[in-house]
Each structure stands twice: as structure tokens, then as C-alpha cells.
Amino acid sequence: MLYLAHFSFDGEYKGEPTHGWFTCMVEADDIEASVDEFHHLINKLQKDEDIFQFVTKVYLEDIIQIRQVPEEGFLGHYSSSPGEAPPSIATTCWGDTDSYCESFSPISSDNEEAQEIEPFIVFRDDKDPSN
């Protein structure tokens, strides 16, 4: 069975507090085994990679047991915060993942400078009062 888990974290970078979210997927026989697999995976990433170098605490938000994916797909996670989005750093499929997954993005991963992402879908244009 596949399990998709959402985590949040606290950390510190250059003396300033940081926070963030990440998602992991594992395959396990049951929910209890998935928790063990997530522990193992996150500890391995912290030990072998530098992605968690500023992370001090990780919180398990939820785990989704994926028995099957419906033809139309499903919404696996939604999070909303008040105010404008603060500057952030994001990555997809961290590490050497070429043998089991591939990430596609509308923005260039070769550019290390800040990039503004274009809307994928616009339900309402906040600048257009007729909407």
C-alpha cells in the first residue's frame, strides 16, 4: 500500500526562526509500518542530505493511505494561511530520484534567482472588480 504523509517543521537559519512543510511517500504493509518507514526516510534524509540542515523539529500532520487513485485524481492536501505568501525556498523530488520518479515544473530549476510563478488557473482576478 502507498502512504503519502504531510509534515511541518520548525528550524533556525542564521539565528532566525524558520518553518515549512514537506510531503513524503512510502510503501508499507499498514499504517503503523508506514510511520516507521517515514521515520527511517526522514532520518536518512537528515543524515545523508543537506535539505534538513536547518530543521530542528518535524511534526507529522497527516498520512493518506492510497488504496487506488481514481481516474479523475484526488486532492491530497490543502493548506491556507492569512496574508501574502512570504519569500520561500521549495524543491521537488529531492535527491537522486531519477530511477523512480521525475518532476516537471513550469519554472526553470537551473535559475537560482527568485522567480515569479504564473497562475495555473485563475478563478477570480482580484484586480478585476467585475468578477
Domain boundaries, the chain: 2-66
Q: Quickly state the pLDDT bin for 128 (edges 50, 70, 90).
A: low
Number of Cβ within a 10 Å radius of residue 109: 10
Q: Is 3 exposed, middle or buried (0-12, 13-18, 19+ CB in 10 A)?
A: buried
Q: Are residues 93 and 103 in contact, defined by beta-carbon separation less than 8 angstroms? A: yes
> Is the pTM here over 0.85, yes or no?
no
Residue 4: what pLDDT?
Answer: 95
Residue 35: what pLDDT?
Answer: 97
Q: What is the pLDDT of residues 52-70, one digit of tens each?
A: 999 999 999 999 999 999 9
